Amino acid sequence: MDRAPLALAAKMRWITLVLAGLSFWSTVTVSNSFDYEEPEFDYYEEDRGETIEYKDPCKAAVFWGDIALDEEDLSMFQIDRTIDLTQHTNMHPHSRQDFLPQNESKGGTSAKSQTWKAGKVVKSRFPRAATSRAERIWPGGVIPYVIGGNFTGSQRAMFKQAMRHWEKQTCVTFIEKTDEESYIVFTYRPCGCCSYVGRRGNGPQAISIGKNCDKFGIVVHELGHVIGFWHEHTRPDRDDHVTIIRDNIQPGQEYNFLKMEPGEVNSLGEPYDFDSIMHYARNTFSRGMFLDTILPSRDENGVRPAIGQRTRLSKGDIAQARKLYRCPACGETLQESTGNFSSPGYPNGYPSYTHCVWRISVTPGEKIVLNFTTMDLYKSSLCWYDYIEVRDGYWRKAPLLGRFCGDKIPGVLISADSRMWIEFRSSSNWVGKGFAAVYEAICGGDITKDSGQIQSPNYPDDYRPSKECVWRIAVSEGYNVGLSFQAFEIERHDSCAYDYLEVRDGPLETSPLIGRFCGYDKPEDVRSTSHILRMKFVSDGTVNKAGFAANYFKEEDECAKPDNGGCEQRCVNTLGSFKCACDPGYELAPDKKSCEAACGGLLSKLNGTISTPGWPKEYPPNKNCVWQVVAPNQYRISMQFEAFELEGNEVCKYDYVEVRSGLSSDSKLHGKYCGTEVPEVITSQYNNMRIEFKSDNTVSKKGFKAHFFSDKDECSKDNGGCQHECVNTVGSYVCQCRHGFVLHENKHDCKEAECEHKIHSPSGTLSSPNWPDKYPSRKECTWDITAMPGHRVKITFNEFEIEQHQECAYDHLEAFDGDSDTAAILSRLCGSKTPEPLVSTGNKMYLRFISDASVQRKGFQATHTTECGGRLKAEVHQKNLYSHAQFGDNNYPGHTDCEWLLTTEQGYGIELTFIIFEVEEEADCGYDYIELYNGYDANSHRLGRFCGSGPREGIYSPGDTMLIRFHSDDTISKKGFHIRYTSTKFQESLHVRK
């Protein structure tokens, strides 16, 4: 399909989607000739706090190269083969994939007019005729825009240069958005360089300029999509001009080289344009930098034309845009500070039935002075036949400055702003000289609007030498003037003696000076004390720079209102907004208006209550609260939690509360708590206790509420009568026993305990009963150890001494590869030689220790940990696999290399569903990644390599074996992944949308 405008390219062929649903981070395929990449916002927030909810290309249903397609597009498009476009993402910053289409037609086999459905070939249900779509054309060629606040001044300047490039060559006009309903928003989105084709209507739409997309040619290219163009190499006659070398295309990117049918697009009569800025380069999506994917045919001289340029619009681009927007045959866009123009044929007479439009566009903050030097047109009543209209603005609906005909030269016309529209029409056969005019841009003047933009002359190009501009900005009375700089670059000098911008608080040159600015640092936001602000820009005759761009607007002091801005205590006015603050000892509540007592502090009462900030509502992010509780000497402090709900599970890396005996941060730690399990009562060793709560910047929960009590320590005398240990509690005490013993009925003595253990923690220690003393006789102990699914249990022995026997027939330790003694035995151990580590094949291990009635030894002490990888059996019911043993509590570790081999019954395939996927992102997934293979090892067919936010739908292996490899380097780590796997009939599920 050619660069053809959307309005004339009504229907592509139906795209049969194999979708798992629309995802938040929709992916975009990007070309290595474009340098497209990336990093992240659901909403754009304007400088003055206005939130814009726009149509986000990153959330599009599917993508075709850097073009976003929504559901409305899909209802009219048809494609001659089944393709899962959402899989094809080679450069997406959160999902770097190298995914092979599972049903790409091979060997030239045509799948035209067919789609796959549940493994069956059926005729397409949508064979529609082509129609034009005028609603995708921007009315009058006017495209309002907003540039997001996250871009630098140089990026903003470059965007404006790209828009001015389109304006200069065509009749399309880009204007700063005012009250228009439909407009474009330049954003920095995670899907890199991406945009919709044409006007979507019904609100704002984004054009994503992600990482490495901020190049002039790339922005011109993306604006081409916004205006209404597709890629040149997809027009239906492309095979007459270029050859697609499919063997050189990256696996999974073949869909980018599809073409449209002749009945589905109108190229407006323009020939194929090798030089188009909308054409791919020769090596786009190539397996190697020097391998061609698109090879242009040789011209009559035997030379292959260059393709893929990203420097300027080609003649073909210009011709098609002018046809698409029905630009008048004569006229142009004039962007210089001075210039002239005249009617066709001047001074020898203009032809009849002529229509010309001149658009004068100078720098915002300048005005246009227009002088007609000659006027010789047919004169009629009301200038009905031949006439010139001059309008004060950017298009034909702008306010009329005058309509002229005859031979009387009009007076000088001055625009109110930086644009002027001049339209000439002739409909008579009268022959006159025509007209001639000159114009000049003048900077400065009085501005009486409530908002707008001021730029240095010739911005974003270098300002001109020896300029002096004075602006007096007056907004509505009762307001102040706010001034916010978007870009600033004026010749540097310590005292700004050469070039400078001067801002004064009032209309006069003697008004109080707010600042005199030069250099390269953007000045702070400015606010006047009245409704008038004066700006003066001066340049000398030597060094010239890019200048400045600033937005002005009426500013209101919300804190001066009777309700104090809605703030409970203090209101702080800011430019364009305000914020609430609190008095010392208080902090803002979650509603950002009311105040609450600051968390933490020194508590010397015998009892009291503490809770997380905002209780019982969710605690705020990034909080650090420290309570220091101090009781009298010989007292102990006990802490009892009434309610408990923090982010995390066992590791407590994110949100947690620490309880210590003592007042310092390195005092004895009683525990670090998170999750939803209410901690047991905690009693200090001394007469003081430290409680510290921390929350990170992500998930917030309800928090905790706890009561503390101070009490005399009964255990300090005669150990409270306890045989083993005495633990003081509020108002009383309890006796406790050592490992392997339980408390006697008298609550003071200890007796031997049952010896059954269930272990779910990722690491810890285990030992024989009564360790480090000798184990008792006639004892049987078991340990049922369960690791995170997808991980194996590993036992490492630190010390080992069990009665020796050649067959370990007396005292011994047995290890079973499962959850009971009916599983396969791993080892039977005795003697005094430390055994080698034991590793299970699955995520469970069962240990059993038995001692007889005779000899006793010291026993053993071991550490249990986990190892990733192993052999897993996929069955009809779903099973889970996690990236690391501490998934959900901590990021995956570095230097990890794990392999899982999934098998199922013969005749079945394996299906993976990615529940969570968060792995370090990199363009080629070269750092951290998972790889999937349809087979036993890495020599098998690779299904894909993934990082970032991973695949957007399930992965299917047609064979009964799948290898999963996970690698992480030694730097950045992320949350990891959670996969559910199951066996499935491959033929029944491969093409079904999940």
The binding site consists of 221, 225, 231
Instruction: Please give the structure tokens belonging to residue 983.
Output: 């066996």
Rounded distance between C-alpha atoms, residue 994 and residue 989, angstroms: 9
DSSP code of 919? B
CA distance 308 to 276: 7
Q: CA of 35: how far to CAs of 62, 252, 281, in Å?
A: 21, 19, 12
Task: Based on the residue annotation, tell me whether 922 is a catalytic residue of this protein.
Answer: no
- Count CB-CB contacts under 10 A for residue 349: 15
Closest to 673 (Cα-Cα) out of 697, 699, 643: 643
| C-alpha–C-alpha distance, residues 647 and 626, integer Å | 18
**CA distance readout (Å), 284 to 31, 242, 309, 532, 941:** 6, 14, 12, 55, 24
Q: Which residues pair with 838 in a beta bridge?
A: 795
* Alpha-carbon gap, residue 214 to 229, rounded angstroms: 20
Q: Please give the Cα distance from 399 to 391 (Å, whole number).
A: 5
Tell me the CA distances in angstroms from 288 to 56, 250, 878, 947, one per residue in order: 32, 9, 40, 21
User: What gap in Å lies between CA 414 and CA 989, rounded to an integer?
Assistant: 70
Do the Cβ atoms of 376 and 387 come closer than 8 Å? no
Give Cβ neighbours of residue 242 (< 8 Å, ≥ 6 apart). Answer: 233, 294, 295, 296, 297, 307
Q: CB of 210 within 8 A of CB of 56?
A: no
Q: Is the separation of the CB atoms in 963 and 933 below 8 Å?
A: yes
10 Å Cβ neighbour count for 426?
Answer: 24
Structure tokens of 553?
A: 């607007």
Q: Residue 873 — φ and ψ, nearest 5°?
A: -105, 115
Q: Indicate the DSSP class of residue 255.
A: G
Both structure tokens of 604:
């010397």
Measuring CA to CA, how many Å separate 274 from each of 216, 231, 359? Answer: 20, 11, 30
Joined tokens for residue 131: 């129609």
Helix (H) or strand (E) holding 311: none
Q: What residue numbers does the annotated binding site for Zn(2+) cover? A: 221, 225, 231
The pair phi, psi for residue 264, each rounded to 5°, is -105, -5
Dist. CA 6–CA 223, nearest whole Å: 13
The amino acid that residue 900 corresponds to is: W
- Token pair in block for residue 421: 């529209």
Strands 741-743 and 668-673: unpaired
Return the amino acid letter for 625. Answer: C
For 635, list phi and psi in degrees, rounded to 5. Answer: -100, 155
> CA 441 → CA 411, 415, 467, 489, distances in Å?
17, 10, 12, 21
For residue 775, give every residue at least 6 positions away whose Cβ sits within 8 Å of its Cβ, in sequence order, or none. Answer: 768, 769, 811, 849, 851, 856, 857, 858, 859
CB contact set of 717 (below 8 Å; sequence gap of 6+): none
Between strands 896-903 and 929-934, the pairing is: unpaired
What is the rounded CA–CA span in Å between residue 296 and residue 298? 7
Are 174 and 163 in contact by the 8 Å Cβ rule? The answer is: yes
The active-site residue out of 38, 167, 222, 491 is 222
Residues labelled as active-site residues: 222
